[in-house]
């Protein structure tokens, strides 16, 4: 399954201050290759669709005209209809929120737990560091899909549970990078100076350590959102995700698989949606990574 290996972000990347402003952002965008711009635009559109699917379609994703089942793509139904007469285009639009939001939720779980553990590990004494590193090893010893299956066996199927499962599986990715960043930053000059000047530990942590440790995180997150989306829709495809009639993309593919012989559109468009979303995030993520490394 396409979960990525741990991204290699150079350890010293991002050290030092960096400032963002709207103007500099626009200027940066203008210098991007067209692929990355396209990806960014696509993601923006996706965000709109996730928030306001009704803006592009007025049909009901959950019901349709039962007498119009399995109609091929045409003027009235751009992506055709499924067996219950539901408009596939509308369902794909509404499906965005499940795959995307759950993918992002899983990412959020990985990030927060990973960062917490990574910082704790990097800052902690030898035993704490060893212990948490071994935890990362244990978590990454299970192939992600199988780990998710194990979690779902215990907790039962459902959107939240698969988000949790995939989130847990993704902890080591972030944990390890944050840990190595923490180890580096901890010895950096400005941290030592802050300590000498008598800043409290919390202050040092929040003001100096975290911003520099966390700089790598958004890049890795963007790169890995794609595999989170695939993981979520994959588990839904297997039947472990949301219940019908939820228009989740993986569920739609599972439903469409049985009628491929007579209705190719049911198996085509949800998959296209997944692939495009993942592609967009991957392209954007790769570009961010390159410019990140280029900043060295």
Partner 1 sequence: MTHHRSTLSSLTALPTVSLLALLAAHGSAWSNEAGVPGGQITWGVTTEPACFNPHRSSQQNAFLVIRNYIDSLVGKRSDGVFVPWLAKSWSVSGNGKEYTFQLRDDVRFHDGERFNAEAVKANFDFIRNPKSSAAAASFLEYYLRTEVLGPYTAKVVLSQPDSAFLESVSSVKLGFLSPKTLAAEADLCSGGPGLVGTGPFIFEQYQRGQSVSFRKNPAYQWAPGFAQHTGPAYLDRVTYRFLPEYAVRTGALSSGQVDLIEGVQPTDISAFKDVPGFKLLTGPSSQTSFTLNINYRRGVATDIRVRRALRDGFDVDALVKSIYLGTVPRAWSNIGPDNSGYNPRLAGTWGHRVAEANKLLDDAGWTGRDAQGYRTKDGKRLSIEVGYPQPYVRDNRDLLIQGIQAALRKNIGLDLNLRIVSNGEWTKSLTDASWSIYPNTLNPADAALELRDVLGDTGFLYTKTVPDGGKADTELTGLINEARLQSDLKKRQVLLDKIQQIAVDRAYIVPLFAPHYVVAAKRQVEGISFEAQLDSPSNSHDLWLRK
Partner 2 sequence: MQSPHPVLKAALLRLGSALLVMWLAASATIVALHALPGRIQDILAGDLELPGLKEAISAEWGLDRSLPEQYLDFIVRTAHGDFGSSYVMRQPVSSIIGSQVLPTVTLALLAGALATLIALTLATLTAGRPGPARRLAATLELGSASVPVFWLGILLLMAFSFRLPWFPVSGDEGWRALVLPTLTLALPTAGILAQVLREAMEKTLEQPFVTTVRARGLGELALRLRHVLRHALLPAVTLGGWLVGSLMGGAVITEKVFGRPGLGTVTLNAVLSQDVPVVLAVVLLAAFVYVLVSTALDLLYLAIDPRLQTP
Residues at the interface with partner 1 (CB under 8 A): 60, 62-64, 66-67, 69-70, 83-86, 156, 239, 243-245, 255, 257-263
Among 18, 24, 153, 243, indicate the residue that binds partner 2 (CB under 8 A): 153
Q: Are 284 and 43 in contact (CB under 8 A)?
A: yes
Per CB under 8 A, 247 contacts partner 2: no
Per CB under 8 A, 141 contacts partner 2: yes
Partners of residue 87 on adjacent β-strands = 81
Q: Rounded to the nearest 5°, which phi and psi values hold at 64?
A: -150, -175
Closest approach of Cβ 162 to partner 1, in Å? 15
Among 278, 284, 287, 292, indicate the residue that binds partner 2 (CB under 8 A): 278
Indicate the burial class of 243 (C-beta count within 10 angstroms; 0-12, 13-18, 19 or more). Answer: exposed
| Comparison of 16 and 244: residue with beta carbon closer to partner 1 | 244
Per CB under 8 A, 25 contacts partner 2: no
The site for partner 2, by CB under 8 A, has a size of 49
- Residue 58: name its binding partner from partner 1, partner 2, none (Cβ under 5 to 8 Å by kind): none
Per CB under 8 A, 257 contacts partner 2: yes
Closest approach of Cβ 81 to partner 1, in Å? 11
Closest approach of Cβ 244 to partner 1, in Å? 5
Three-state helix/strand/coil letters over 156-177:
CCCHHHHHHHHHHHCHHHHHHH
CA 190 to chain centre: 33
Neighbours of 30 (CB within 10 A): 8
Closest approach of Cβ 92 to partner 1, in Å? 17
The sign one gets for the Cα dihedral 196, 201, 204, 210 is positive
| Comparison of 212 and 255: residue with beta carbon closer to partner 1 | 255
Three-state helix/strand/coil letters over 178-237:
HHHHHHHHHCCHHHHHHHHCCCCHHHHHHHHHHHHHCCHHHHHHHHHHHHHHHHHHHHHH
Per CB under 8 A, 40 contacts partner 2: no
Per CB under 8 A, 11 contacts partner 2: no
């Amino acid at each position: 399954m396409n979960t990525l290996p741990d991204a290699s972000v150079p350890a010293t990347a991002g050290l030092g201050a960096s400032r963002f402003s709207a103007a500099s952002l626009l200027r940066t965008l203008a210098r991007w290759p067209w692929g990355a711009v396209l990806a960014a635009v696509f993601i923006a559109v996706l965000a709109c669709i996730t928030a306001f699917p009704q803006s592009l379609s007025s049909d009901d994703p959950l019901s349709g005209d039962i007498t119009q089942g399995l109609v091929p793509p045409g003027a009235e139904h751009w992506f055709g209809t499924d067996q219950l007469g539901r408009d596939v285009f509308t369902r794909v639009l509404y499906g965005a929120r499940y795959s995307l939001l759950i993918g992002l939720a899983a990412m959020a779980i990985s990030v927060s737990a990973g960062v917490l553990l990574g910082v704790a590990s990097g800052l902690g004494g030898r035993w704490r560091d060893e212990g948490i590193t071994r935890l990362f090893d244990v978590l990454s010893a299970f192939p992600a899909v199988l780990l998710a299956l194990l979690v779902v066996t215990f907790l039962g199927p459902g959107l939240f549970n698969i988000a949790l499962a995939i989130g847990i599986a993704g902890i080591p990715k972030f944990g390890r990078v944050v840990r190595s960043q923490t180890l580096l930053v901890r010895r950096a000059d400005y941290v030592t100076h802050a300590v000498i000047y008598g800043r409290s530990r919390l202050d040092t942590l929040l003001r100096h350590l975290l911003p520099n440790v966390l700089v790598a995180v958004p890049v890795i997150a963007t790169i890995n959102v794609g595999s989170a989306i695939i993981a979520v829709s994959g588990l839904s495809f297997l039947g472990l995700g949301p219940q019908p009639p939820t228009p989740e993309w993986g569920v739609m593919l599972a439903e469409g698989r049985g009628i491929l012989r007579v209705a190719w559109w049911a198996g085509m468009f949800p998959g296209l949606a997944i692939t495009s979303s993942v592609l967009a995030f991957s392209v954007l993520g790769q570009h961010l990574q390159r410019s990140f490394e280029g900043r060295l």
